[in-house]
Chains A and B, each alone.
Chain A
Amino acid sequence: MTTFDPYAPSRDTTEGTVFSVTGGDWDSLIQEIGSTKEERVVVNMGPQHPSTHGVLRLILELEGETVTEVRCGIGYLHTGIEKNIEFRNWTQGTTFVTRMDYLAPLFNETAYCLAIEKLLGITDDVPERASVIRVMMMELNRISSHMVALGTGALELGAITPMFFAFREREIVLDLFEMIAGLRMNMAYIRPGGVQQDLPEGAIPKIRSAVKLMRRNFKDNTTLLVGNSIWLKRTQGIGYLDLAGATTLGITGPVLRSTGLPWDLRKVQPYCGYENYKFDVITADTCDVYGRFLIRIDELEQSLRIIEQALDKLEKLEGAPVMVADKKIAWPAQLALGGDGLGNSLNHIREIMGTSMESLIHHFKLVTEGFHVPAGQVYVAVESPRGEIGAHVVSDGGTRPYRVHFREPSFNNLQATSAMSEGGMIADIIGAVASIDPVMGGVDR
């Protein structure tokens, strides 16, 4: 410690010498650390770090390059979504929950809306076409989410090309979302009682051709990574977590399925009519990062299968309603695309403004005040790309939720980081975290 290093200043504390590292100075740092007698080094990684999958902060205790302890620091993206929902009506809540896990917005919305429908007792009244659209949208979303998991996961381990392919595929899905819901992310498309609007004209052929294109495109990443010896070395045997560990930690999703247990809520506790679709639950028995990677790759094809079946169903259900018939619950707006963009259809405006005062009152009351939900509580879980997302929703009988809590799979699964990484090399933490695929918007809510 003879000269001042602008990149690695150090100061002495009661805990020992603290070095602040900002990059480009590893040689001098190692020299300085080498001069201390301490073997144990505590390193802070993140929250602004390109490899920590968002604003995740990892506090690592190292001995050489071996990790002896990992702690996660979270909360950097906490936005109080659960609190905010209590101050808006039930329908407005969808615009909040869609922003939690921003890579899988449709799953958040579905869990929330299914919970409201269960509280209202209208689960069986949701039109079939709405359920089929929900399934199709969720599976498209699963593809786009898995694409980010694969692309960023590969990027974080040093493979850049897979990221380009993955984001190319994600772009296809986001374009479809834009066509259907008007927004590419955070679309608040799934609403209590159904979906916000029906599919636009010509949507089904477009989705069909996108499915065909994606099926061909997926091969690019498969050929790049499956069996690739560098990729195998970075992923095989890394981030090990077996079934006993996964169970006690409450781990679900691809991480649980990588232990060989075919637990998929779409199969075992079907919702939205998933029992009517043919698809396989993909598992691996390696309990490692490579197994989770293979599961995500193979789930893409299963999602495509479900989308194709959903499109077949939608063709048969052409013109069927997409919102419950009960006008006390169904959103009154009738959307239509006009010359100035999407808005209430002219016929609806003509009715409420020109002919029926009661229609106007009804529209106004339902939009501003909302509908009442009978008192009680429910817990509804759906299978998101990351595992079980559960909505615990409590109503006191009012027009706004009394309490909404989300059991976020990212939040829960991130706890496995320590079990997966401790005792391993520092470089393998990145692979382990990437294989959990946490989305910090969901973790922190």
Chain B
Amino acid sequence: MTDNGMFGARGTGDTSGYGGLVRTEASIGSSERPYGGYFDEVADDLERAYPEFSNAIDRVVVDRGELTLHVKREKLVEVAIILRDTLKFEMCMGVSGVHYPNNTDRELVAVYPLLSMTNNRRIRLEVCVPDADAHIPSLVEVWAGNNWHERETFDMFGIIFDGHPGLTRILMPDDWQGHPQRKDYALGGIAVEYKGATTPPPSDRRTYR
């Protein structure tokens, strides 16, 4: 599905036609202590409760008043259980995927926003995986509510959540080809068949070429 999107947008997909924008994938380096606010406390508590902290967590990023822990996927479930039980992050607000096609070996990112109602705190977990091996352990056993969110992220990005009780498509039809939210998937790029007549996808229509 590497095609020009709707409206004949090429390259950047800049539909305005102005600016000649180039997508840059700026990554923010890890932050240094002190992180500020309750973030130091969260990091301290996690280090104390989880001896493998430095091994499991690649980076700690504080940006715009939000704390992100970059977790290795092999350690995700362990970290999640400690965050839930010891640090009282009772709720996981789902999973959001992000696709960075040019970040070699870190193309797919899963982002988990966590909420602690006991301490009124929010943090975020991030797991990066290569496109060629897009497997992340499922967190449904830790937070049951992640069930549908992981199905959605699988549906949209093709990230496979190992151990999920029923990882099937949830928003797209079961027999759909491709994962629509990936950057290499064109916007609206499918043909529509109705009563025997086929309407080509917008990017193939002559007027948009």
Name A residues whose Cβ lies closer than 8 Å to a Cβ of B. Answer: 74-75, 78, 80, 82-84, 86-89, 118-119, 121, 247-252, 261, 263, 268-269, 365, 368-370, 375-379, 381, 388, 390, 392, 394, 396-400, 402-403, 405, 407, 411-412, 414-415, 444-445
Residues of A within 8 A of B49 (CB): none
Give B1-18 interface residues, CB cut-off 8 Å to A.
5-6, 9, 12-18
Is the pair B98, A250 in contact by a Cβ cutoff of 8 Å? no
Is the pair B145, A248 in contact by a Cβ cutoff of 8 Å? yes
Is the pair B13, A368 in contact by a Cβ cutoff of 8 Å? no
| Assembled-state Cα–Cα distance A444/B156 (Å) | 12
* Min CB gap A381→B, angstroms: 7
| Assembled-state Cα–Cα distance A249/B173 (Å) | 25
B: number of interface residues (CB 8 Å): 56
| Assembled-state Cα–Cα distance A357/B143 (Å) | 57
Interface string of B117-129 (1 = CB under 8 A from A): 1001010100000
Give B49-95 interface residues, CB cut-off 8 Å to A.
63-66, 68, 90-94
Residues of A within 8 A of B149 (CB): 407, 412
Q: A396-B26, A403-B98 are in contact. Are A249 and B144 (CB under 8 A)?
A: yes
Interface string of B91-104 (1 = CB under 8 A from A): 11110111100000
Max chain A CB contacts within 10 Å: which of B28, B63, B172?
B63
* Min CB gap B105→A, angstroms: 19
Is the pair A412, B148 in contact by a Cβ cutoff of 8 Å? yes
17 CB-based A-B contacts, threshold 8 Å: A75-B173, A78-B172, A118-B65, A119-B64, A368-B18, A369-B18, A369-B19, A370-B16, A375-B24, A375-B28, A377-B66, A381-B122, A396-B26, A398-B12, A400-B21, A412-B145, A445-B171
Is the pair B145, A399 in contact by a Cβ cutoff of 8 Å? no
Residues of A within 8 A of B15 (CB): 87-88
| Assembled-state Cα–Cα distance A414/B152 (Å) | 14
Q: Beyond the given A86-B13, A269-B120, A381-B122, could you list 10 further A-B residue pairs with CB under 8 A, ordered by the A residue number? A: A75-B169, A80-B187, A87-B5, A249-B144, A269-B122, A368-B17, A392-B96, A396-B23, A403-B98, A445-B171
Max chain A CB contacts within 10 Å: which of B17, B28, B68, B115?
B115
Q: A74-B170, A248-B143, A412-B149 are in contact. Are A83 and B181 (CB under 8 A)?
A: yes
Is the pair A83, B187 in contact by a Cβ cutoff of 8 Å? yes
Interface string of B166-209 (1 = CB under 8 A from A): 00011111000000110000011000000000000000000000
